[in-house]
Amino acid sequence: MPSVKQFQVTFDCAEPERLARFWCEVLGYVVAPPPKGFATWDDYQRSLLPEQQGAWFACVDPSGAGPRLFFQRVPEGKAAKNRVHLDVRVATGLVGEERLAALEAECARLVPLGAVHVQTLYDGNDACIPMLDVEGNEFCLD
């Protein structure tokens, strides 16, 4: 059986482009190229029926190492805690106050982008900061 080499993470959301652009800023990703046959995203959007415009958006890791993130508009709002969430690994290998400082610095960068700081979990050695993205999806700074 062949092993999977690529995967994408899909977000159900109300505003695909807004959420995609938020995650571009968080992760250093870039907007994915427009669909094949279109020079720009605006050209692609104009080719769709009005009810289909803005139905999805995607962003990619410019290095090609990380997964593609795909955002699709759905009619229902978020109803409960995510069963899967992203851990944004900004303090890998750090411990104690150094780890906490790195996580707090990233939190301070993301809040002006629309993220919500839920709480800071710190036990003197390990730390994690649960947050919400611009549509209320949970993620953690780790």
Sign of CA dihedral 106, 110, 111, 112: positive
Mean pLDDT value across residues 10-35: 95
pLDDT of residue 138: 95
Q: Residue 57: pLDDT above 90?
A: yes
Q: What is the mean pLDDT of the chain?
A: 93
Q: Which of 61, 81, 94, 96 is nearest to 130 (CA)?
A: 81
Domain ranges of the chain: 8-73, 86-141
pLDDT of residue 78: 84
> Is 127 in contact with 91 (CB distance < 8 Å)?
yes
- Tens digits of per-residue pLDDT, 67-125? 999 999 999 888 888 888 899 999 999 999 999 999 999 999 999 999 999 999 999 88
The reported pTM is 0.87
For residue 21, give both structure tokens.
């652009």
What 3-state class would DSSP assign to 7? coil
Q: Residue 1: pLDDT above 70?
A: no
What 3-state class would DSSP assign to 140? strand
35 Cβ contact list (under 8 Å, min separation 6): 44
Residue 62 is inside which H or E element, if any? none
Q: Residue 10: pLDDT above 70?
A: yes
Q: Which of 32, 13, 22 is nearest to 88 (CA)?
A: 22
- Tens digits of per-residue pLDDT, 26-48? 999 999 998 899 999 899 989 99
